[in-house]
Each structure stands twice: as C-alpha cells, then as structure tokens.
Amino acid sequence: MENTNPLLNRKNDHRLKAIPFPEFKTEHFLPAIQEALKDAKAEIETLKNNPEAPTFENTILELELNGELLDYVANIYFNLLSAESDDAFKALAQQISPMLAEFGSSISTDPVIFQRVKAVYDQEVAGTPKPQIPKDLNDKAALKKAERYRLIERTYNSFIRGGAMLNEDDKKRLTEIQMEASQLSPKFSDNVLAATNKWELHITDPKDVEGIPENSLKAAAYLAKKKGKDSGWLFNLQPSSLTPVLTYCKNREIRKQIQQAYSSRAFRDDFDNQENIKKILKLRAEKAKLLGYKNHADYVLADRMAASFETASDFLEKIYGIAYPAAQKEVEAVKTLAKAMDNLDELMPWDMAYYSNKLKEQLYAYDPEELRPWFKVENVLEGLFTVTGKIYGIQVKQVFDVPVYHPDVTTWEVYSRTGDFLGLVYMDLFPRETKRGGAWKTSFQGQGLHRDGVRRPHVSIVASLTPSTDETPSLLTLNEARTIFHEFGHALHSLLAQGYYKGLSGTSVLWDFVELPSQIMENWLLEEEALNLFARHYQTGEPLPKELLDKVIAAKNFQAGVANINQLRYGMLDFSWHIADPESIDDVNAFENNAIERFRLLPPLDGSNISCAFAHIFAGGYSAGYYSYKWAEALEADAWSLFTEKGIFNQEVAVAFEKYILARGNSFHPMDLFIAFRGRKPDPDALLKRDGLIG
C-alpha cells in the first residue's frame, strides 16, 4: 500500500525526478525522517550480518549507498530550513538533528562495521601505491580504479575520525557530543535570523535619507508600503538594504544606527548567542581530545590541504605582514578625506564605507552605483550562462514545469556541448524573512552512483540580492553580480562532475579547496571581453561604456589591504576560538576583542560583536576553516593567471580546468589535481601580486 506521506513517495513522473515541493507540509517531515531512518538502519544491519568476507562491494559500496531515502528527506528538510522556514519548521531541527547525529555516530563507532572496512582497507589500500592521475582522462577504467582506492581510503579515515578506535565509554560520550552539538548549530542560526529580522528603521524625513541612491530609496519605500507604513522608507539588516545606507547616507547618525544594529545581532539581546558559543566550543574541544587531538583546530586541519594549524596560520600571517601596513595607509587616506570634507576628527566604523566611496569617486571618477542599470538580474543570469557557455560549452535553459518551494525560485536545465543532460539548477536570489542571510550553493541530489545508477545533480543557489519593486526591476551592484558568478562556480563543480561515487563527487573535496571553482568564476566579471557579452542598460539596451568599465578595472585593487585584513580578521578569530581552552573563556566579547585587536583599523564599536553572528563557524561548515577562503583565493589567483596568459576563453586552459579540477571532485588529492592543471605547485605569492600588494 502506498504511503500517504509525499516525502516517502519519491515521484518519478518528471524525467528529472524533480522534488514535488508543493505537496510537502511541516507535519510530513518528522514522520518521514523516522521512517527513512528505519530503512537506513535495516540496511546497516544487513551489512553487519553479511556472512560473506568483506569486499569493496558488500562493505564500502554498501556504506556509500546506505540511506538514500533518508538523504533525500534530510536534504530537503535542511535546505528548506535555511531557505524557506517558519518557526514550526525550524523547531523540528531540535528533534531531527540529534536523531541523524546519533545514527551517523552509531555507524562510525560500530566495531563490526569498522572491522569490515578495515579488512577492505588492508586488502586494497594499506601498503599499496596511491594511483596517479591517468595521462588519458578518457580512460574510465583507470579513473574508476583510482576512485575506488580513494573511496576506501576516505571511508577508513572517516571511521578513525569518527571514533572507531575509542573504547565503549568514549564512544558513548562522542555520540552524546554529536547529538548535543547538532541541536546547538540550528539554535545559533535561528538566533541570527531572528535578530536580523527584528530590527527595522522607518524614516519619514527626506533629510535623513539624503545621499542614498534613488534605486535604493524606491526599494525602501516599497518595503515600507509592504509592511503597512503610510509613507517614508523602511530599512532592515539585509545587505541589499543596509549597504546603500552605510555607503551613501549623509546623515551620520542614521549610518551609526544601522551599523550598530548590524554589528550587534544576537549579542546582548533577546537572541543572545554567547552561551551557545561557549557550549559549542566546549563540545568541539572535548570531541577533539577524545579523538587524540590537542584542540578542534588540529582535528579539522588534519583533513585539509593545509594539513596543520601551523601551516594555515603561517599562510595567514604572511599575508598579514604585507597587508596590514597597506591597510593602515588606505585608512589614513580615508581619514584625511573625511577631515577635509566634513572636519571629522575620528573615523568610526559607520564612516568607513561612506568616505571610502567618496575617495574612490575622487581617485577613479566613478561611483559603483552607476553600474546598476547594466546589471539587471535577468541580464546578469543571461550573461553568466553565456560566459560559462563560452568557457565550458554548456547550455542553460529556463524551464517552467519543475515544482518549486517558493514563487521567487526559478529553475534551469543545464546541458553539455554535446547535448547531454548535466543537471537541474534552482535559483532563489532575493531576501525574505523565512530565509537566512548570505549566499550559498547547496544540493538536493548529488552527482554519482545511486541504487538505480549514476544520477546527475540537482543544485540550488540561494542569495539575498536587491529585489525588484513595483516600479523598478532588480538592478544589482557589481558585488551582487559577483555573488551570482561565485555561487554558480560552486554549482559548476557539481554540474560538470564526472565522478562515479557520489561521496567523492563535485564539491565533496577537502574544505580549503572547495572555494577555488567559485572564486575563479568572479574574474570574468571584470573582463571587457566577458562584459561585452551581456552588460546592457536595462532601459536603452546600450552596452556598458568602455570609459566606465576602464574605471571599474582601474579601481579593482582599491583598498586591497583593507579587504585582506577584514578576511584575515575572520580567519584568525575563528582559529583563536578553536585553539583556546574553552574552560578559560568566561567573557565572549573580551575574548573576541583580544583576538582581533591587532587586526583593528578603526576604533572599536561599543556593543558590537562579530562572533555572535558568525554563522559560518558556529552554524556552518567552516569551524577552524574560515582561512579556506584566503587559501583557495591564493590557488585561484595562480590558476587565473594561466587564463589571463592564454586568453580568458582559451579552450585548452578551460578544458584542463574542467577535466582536472571540476570533473574530478575528490577522486585525487587536491594538490595533485592542481599540479596536473597548472603544471607545477601553486605560486605562494600569486594572491599578493594579483591584489597589487607586492610587485
């Protein structure tokens, strides 16, 4: 008899097997998770009780394919939790997360399963030379053999890192830690979203919005009307709303209000995250010690390209030594201008964007706001697909018969140059109160082997860009257009994946390698050859004037020192939390201030706190890993230099990047893949050279 829960009836009535979102209700999710868990546990019991000797097929592959229904339901739940969820939906995470954590831990700590995994590892990997990247990447047999080796190796190591070698008491405690931690991350994220949504600033006096661009004022007026205000402008803490205020508003007090509100989210308010931070840190530290590591950072870095905290921190310190003096000079230039313009004696955080933009106007004779008319969101998407078509030969077409979870979401099919179906993309680009802030790429279905064969991926790009109003279409800033290019770079990592095993496919790479495909895509956005393909004025159809483009390109390294220091501050703050003894941390704010003091370029903002809204490390996958952005950026700068040397649409370089980086996923160590693409190890100075910080 067919189950009435639509989450348990995986519809096959669409050739893409698209998810029937409109059929799902909140009350369907917990029963579906519970039922799917039963199935997954039954599969595990079958694996454990198999009387045959352990083999790759009956052990490693079975683990790889375990719980497909559970993955299906859980992926939908957690993707919607971030993108489209109300309070009732969010509350389910406190039940669902520990159930999944307990199940995952029960597998990785099971002695019977581990012995089977170890037997296969000993037979096929231990003492066996690591397969090299085949010279002929069309040799599917060689690639599959190498992937098999890598999957066994990664599976075995995941059991070690998951507690397989612990005694029974420690295994029990590890499971408890995983379950408790799985509840704290959603709590942290919920608090940040609630604090973000709660704050609004309603302005009715035109003097108070003087300087803010017309497009942003229209958006604020439209938001005020939607929220039932009779007049005026409504601003909130979404980047598309607050950034124009901080960059353009002449009223310093208004800038101060919005800066203070944004910088104090989930800190000393109704949604305070300080206790959550302390609990998360204690659990992570305890887990690391149980597994034989000095701290959480050492545990994380052992499975990264950097391989150790020392290597990663030395990398950041090298950049700091060059970028901080440059950043100080850049800030001094802004202070000098602020003093000359408005007799400002002390530059505060709410002044930096405003006067930096004035300085940019002086130096380069252009205002970034001028670009918006050429970046209508539909044109940016068309341009993105045209550019990636020229690079990789893909074809992207919008489809209208795929169910979506919100009316804002659009759907797109992607095909290879030979017409083969590569995958489905969901685009969810505008802010709403049911969506967490930021931008990310996620997957509803991974590329690779499933029970019914190899499937193509279903990926989603989620962001909070400038929305349209009742008068104006969505016109993006250059940074917002860059966000779309960045996230589509992640999507390409999945869409162009050619792996056999989904656990090694696409973005399932070492974490400090995952940003390379996304960051490299940003480069095309500042290339005349690429912009000429799509940057058209939304009203006149005129191309982006060359003189304006030249100014944008000339200004691309404006305040590169400040930009680097801002990223380093986040990365080193992340490390500071994860190398410290949590028991010694009484005051979250005092600890943070001490950790970031040497990165400070402006006076501290009273009542502000980065960590309480630092969802990347306390609610995402970047704990002890935020350095990955700079690490991957260094790889990307070196990889991009080959494109600029040979031509940004050079097919030899593009094909090599696709074959060695995008298609291979985690089937080989990322350093081996980079060397195969670039012909050598990464140039350690490529990033600093590209940013103009060294010659």
Catalytic site positions: 487
DSSP secondary-structure letter at 376? B
Cβ-contact 164, 109 below 8 angstroms: yes
| Alpha-carbon distances, residue 384 vs 154, 296, 379, 530, 672 (angstroms) | 35, 39, 8, 9, 29
Concatenated DSSP letters for 81-93?
A: HHHS--HHHHHTH
The 3-state secondary structure of 115-140 reads HHHHHHHHHHCCCCCCCCCCCCCCCH
Cβ within 8 Å of residue 662, ≥6 positions away: 492, 493, 496, 497, 517
With contact defined as beta carbons under 8 Å apart, do 296 and 150 qualify?
no
Q: Which residues contact 111 (CB under 8 A, 6 or more apart)?
A: 164
Q: What does the DSSP assignment read for 524-550? A: GGG-HHHHTTT-B-TTT-PBPPHHHHH
Token pair 């590591």: residue: 293
Tokens of 479: 């940074």
Separation between Cα atoms, residue 265 and residue 193, nearest integer Å: 9
Instruction: State the DSSP string of 580-625.
Output: S-GGG---HHHHHHHHHGGG--S---TT--SGGG-HHHHTSS-TTT
How many other CB atoms are there within 10 angstroms of residue 417's CB atom? Answer: 10
Name residue, tokens 């609610």: 619
Nearest to 177 by CA among 253, 288, 264: 288
Scanning 394-477, the segments in alpha helix (DSSP H) are none
Nearest to 650, CA basis, from 395, 390, 415, 416: 390
The neighbour count for residue 278, using CB atoms within 10 Å, is: 16
Sheet holding 458-462, edge to edge: 395-399, 410-415, 421-428, 458-462, 440-445
> 3-class DSSP state for residue 236?
strand
Residue type, 260: Q
Going by their DSSP bridges, the two strands 421-428 and 458-462 should be labelled as parallel
> For strand 395-399 and strand 448-450, is the pairing parallel, antiparallel, or unpaired?
unpaired
Answer positive or negative: Cα dihedral of 429, 434, 437, 443.
Answer: negative
What is the CA 180 to chain-centroid distance, rounded?
A: 24
Would you give the distance in Å from CA 381 to the centre of its chain?
Answer: 19
Hey, what are 406's tokens? 């919100």
CA distance 29 to 50: 32
| Residue 424 contacts residue 498 (beta carbons within 8 Å) | no
Give 447's contacts (C-beta < 8 A, 6+ positions apart). 423, 454, 455, 456, 457, 494, 495, 497, 499, 502, 505, 506
The answer to whether 173 touches 290, Cβ cutoff 8 Å, is: yes
